[in-house]
Structure 1
Amino acid sequence: MEKQGEIVLDISISFYFSSFFFILGIAKTHAQRRHLKVETERVENIERLRNLPKRSEIEKKMRDDALAKPVSENSKGFLLLSKMGYKPGMSLGVEKEGCSEGIKVPIALELKTDRTGLGHDTEEDEKRKQRIDLYQKAVLERAKAHEVLIDDFSVRKRWAARMKQLSKDLKKSRKVCQELDARNGLEVPTSHHFWPIYKVMKEEETSLVKKRRIEESESITESFTYFNGKIAPDDLEIDELSENEITELYVIFETYLER
């Protein structure tokens, strides 16, 4: 039994080392070299077969090459067409709208390789084109809207700057009118628009009974005066006037100053 065990152990060890040398590509014996050569050829054949074109690809290439070639003058079809007046270079069929001539090349064959119905691919292409067109139109509309917003923003900025300048000129004209009228001895303007009006805060006059009720809080109201303290009416809200109103007042002030 011990001898048989030693034999089995020797066989296992020799098999292990032979496999080890084979894996590393180290072939010492003729059998190992032959086995390594066979394995190498087998792997190369598998790789070569894997790189070979498929049958469907070969058939498609042969079909495309055959359709790309003109019909031979020796074929029966060409002879039949020649009897009907056909000559090389001529086109077949009637001229369609958008085409200046008929058919000169064979109509391409389209073999279906999927399970979709006839015309499905064409319909999908049309839908895809429609989606692309809609997307392009939406992009153009957004771009135009953006340009309109930019233009509108520029217009509003220019208008705001113009209104600000007009309001500033109007206030300067009122001060000039005030100075000239004051030099001429006027205590109030001929029109309250000609002088600047100032807002003054004052306490509301109340009776003794009301004063008891407002001991903790005082009621404040507004009043308006000219520069010399004379009472004036409510002032104009120049910043809220329209461009036409400011322009009219400005013309009135210029006319008044020229007198």
Structure 2
Amino acid sequence: MSDEEEDYMSDKFLAGLQEVRPSLVQNRGKKRQIEVETKNEELKKRQREATSAAGKVDNDRLQQSLNKPLSADNKGFQLMAKMGYKAGSGLGKQPDARTEPVGITIKSGRGGLGREAAVAELTLKRQEMRRAHLLSKAGIESGEEISTEAYRRRATHKAEERKLHYDIKRCQQTCESLDLKSGVTEPDLDFFWPPKPKEENGSDSEEEPEEEEPPKEELYTPSEQLELLTGYLRTAYTFCYWCGTHYEDTEDLGSNCPGLTRDDH
């Protein structure tokens, strides 16, 4: 007998019999086992189908049945009538007593009873946290009532302030550079040049620190500072910050520069 031929008494040959139909199996025990396993699989399949069908109950049809008033021959209606209930009236003596039954909804999913409420609560919390984050970013306190339009105005105002401070910083750098080239050693106004960093005291002596000077009062708003800076650059150096151009003379500046403000450009 060659190695390629299968022995009909080998384990491999007998194992293949499990995949054939029960009627072809001669061993009664094996045949019975196959029949039981087949029936169990069919039973499980029918149970899954029945569970799926039960979960797909038509809620609309159920609610329509519940909305129908109880007939006079209904046992429940008769019991309530004996206690003074009349059709169409509320249950109880309170003026706001319930007149309609509590609606029900068939639960078709397999999730826990509290999962839907937990997911809804989680969604609300995330929305509140997102809103609080946006309000905080816009500089609005969380307890402050504000409409969508007011929030947009506040956010726009914040963006304009950032742009304004950026323009002031650039103008200060330009003004300092042009002044130094012209031999000017001190700015005409303190805010015409970038603020100088405070010098660190490198001495190790235990001298008492000098009293700090009180901060100088801001005489001009940021928009006024920018207006004064751009005006000084135009007059002193025929330089337009908005154009980014150093013109040859006053006539060239007046002829080719669109105007004094950003909006003119």
Q: State the TM-score, normalized to the length of structure 2.
A: 0.36
More helix, by proportion: 1
| Higher RCO by CA contacts (8 Å cutoff, separation 6 or greater) | 1
Q: State the TM-score, normalized to the length of structure 1.
A: 0.36
